[in-house]
Amino acid sequence: MSYSIAIDGPAGAGKSTIAKNIAKKLKFIYVDTGAMYRAMGLYFLQNNIKIEETDKINQACSNVNISIEYVEGEQQVLLNGENVNGLIRTEEVGKMASSCATQKQVRLKLVELQRELAKKTDVIMDGRDIGTYVLPEANLKVYLTASSKERAGRRWKELTDKGIKCDINDIEKDIIARDEQDMNREFAPLKQAEDAILVDSSHLTIDEVIDRIIELYQHKS
């Protein structure tokens, strides 16, 4: 039986940085499910499909191929065979990902791929519905969060370090809007699973969060 760790939480809580690190330490595969929603969002943007166009969305769900491969331990998302890792990290794609994640048919398509990956090997998977819906039997579930102010501050620093001009209040507004959309959608919304352990990273360093989760893992296994 493979072992699975589910990390859920709102945007910008540090899930992917932390999950990636833990995967290296434990020799697990890191599965970034947000990247899959981003790839679908990219497809909708590239093809000018609006979220109200149910027929086109249904068609896309049957025709579009999303797959995952690993190159030197790094997850690569392929959209119809093309590696789109370099195209999915923009705010525009993030917003579209969040909109298309409200669509049940999109979720069902991606959840199938996510469950398939977790069947084969030990995984640490991050997202919004991993502990509640994708892997309800996960061996360890963590709900990782931080205040919206803290998350906006981290994002602001990341962008400013890259030389990108931005306003911290706008970033916080966007983060809150994304959380609301994720928490209030009908199908598989973002919420803490009953058996998930809450980790608030507002006043913790990345290393402290990693150590805390590894401790939880050692305790459980």
Binding mask 117-156 for ligand C5P (x = CB under 6 A): ----------xxx---------------------------
Q: Are 201 and 14 in contact (CB under 8 A)?
A: yes
Token pair 């998930």 is found at: 196
Structure tokens at 148: 């919206």
| Nearer Cβ to ligand C5P (177/221) | 177
What is the CB neighbour count within 10 angstroms for residue 111? 19
Region near ligand C5P per CB under 6 A, out of 62-70, 92-100, 154-162, 192-200: 92-100
11 among annotated binding-site residues = yes
Binding mask 24-63 for ligand C5P (x = CB under 6 A): ---------xx--xx-------------------------
Taking CB under 6 A as the criterion, which residues in 169-188 touch ligand C5P?
178, 182
Among residues 26, 29, 57, 101, the one that binds ligand C5P under rule CB under 6 A: 101
Token pair 């598989």 is found at: 188
CB of 14 to ligand C5P, least distance (A): 11
152 among annotated binding-site residues = no
81 among annotated binding-site residues = no
153 among annotated binding-site residues = no
H-helix or E-strand spanning residue 83: strand 82-83
Strands 4-8 and 123-127: parallel
Taking CB under 6 A as the criterion, which residues in 191-220 touch ligand C5P?
none
| Nearer Cβ to ligand C5P (141/178) | 178
Residue closest to 119 by CA, chosen among 108, 134, 132: 134
Among residues 9, 14, 94, 131, the one that binds ligand C5P under rule CB under 6 A: 94
Q: Is the dihedral of CA 206, 210, 211, 215 positive or negative?
A: positive
3-state secondary structure string across 133-181: HHCCCCCEEEEEECCHHHHHHHHHHHHHHCCCCCCHHHHHHHHHHHHHH
Counting residues that bind ligand C5P (by CB under 6 A) gives 14
CB of 122 to ligand C5P, least distance (A): 19
Whole-number Å distance between alpha carbons of 124 and 217: 11
Contacts with ligand C5P, residue ranges (CB under 6 A): 11, 33-34, 37-38, 94, 97-98, 101, 127-129, 178, 182
Binding residues for ATP: 9-17
